[in-house]
Amino acid sequence: MLQNAYRNAKRLIAVMLLVFIFCGTSFPAIAAKEYAVEKYSNAKPELMKLKEFLYTHGYYLSTVDVESLGDPTLDDQTMYAVKNCCDTNRNLEGLVYDEGGILQETWAKLDYYQNLIQNLSTPEPDASDAPVYSRIVYGGSGVWPIQKKLAELGYIKEGMQNDIYDQATIEALDDFFRYNPLAYDQREDNKGLTPEIQATILSRDDWNSMPTPEPEPTPEPSPTPAPLSGTEKARAWLTEDSDVFGLELPRFAAGLIAIVLIAAIIFALVYFFGSNGSQRKGGRNAFINEKELQFEITYHGHTEQYSRPIGNTIKIGRNVGSFPLNMDDRGISRKHCEIFYQGRELMLRDYSANGTIVDGKQISNTSCVLHKGSTIRISEHLIKIDY
Could you write out the DSSP letters of every residue in 145-158? HHHHHHHHTTSS-T
> Among residues 126, 121, 98, which one has the least CA distance to residue 110?
98
To 10 degrees, what angle do helices 144-152 and 167-178 make?
50
To 10 degrees, what angle do helices 251-273 and 275-290 make?
40
C-alpha span between 323 and 320 (Å, rounded): 8
CATH topology for the 291-386 domain:
Tumour Suppressor Smad4 (2.60.200)
* Beta carbons within 10 angstroms of residue 34's beta carbon: 9
For the chain, residues with pLDDT lower than 50 are 23-30, 125, 127, 275-289
C-alpha span between 67 and 189 (Å, rounded): 9
C-alpha span between 292 and 7 (Å, rounded): 100
Q: What is the SS3 assignment for 307?
A: strand
DSSP 136: B
pLDDT score for 285: 45
> Among residues 306, 71, 103, which one has the least CA distance to residue 189?
71
For residue 105, what are the contacts with CB-CB under 8 A and spacing of at least 6?
34, 94, 96
pLDDT score for 283: 42
Domain boundary assignment for the chain? 35-112, 144-203, 245-290, 291-386
- Counting every residue written for the chain, the total comes to 387
- On whether the CB atoms of residues 110 and 118 are closer than 8 A, the answer is no
What predicted TM-score, i.e. pTM, was given to this entire model? 0.29
Q: What is the SS3 assignment for 357?
A: strand
Output the CA–CA distances (angstroms, integers) from residue 170 to 132, 136, 158, 176, 287, in the order listed.
Answer: 21, 12, 16, 10, 89
Angle at CA of residue 5, ends 2 and 8, nearest 5°: 150
DSSP 98: B
Question: Furthest-apart CA pair in the chain: how many Å?
Answer: 136
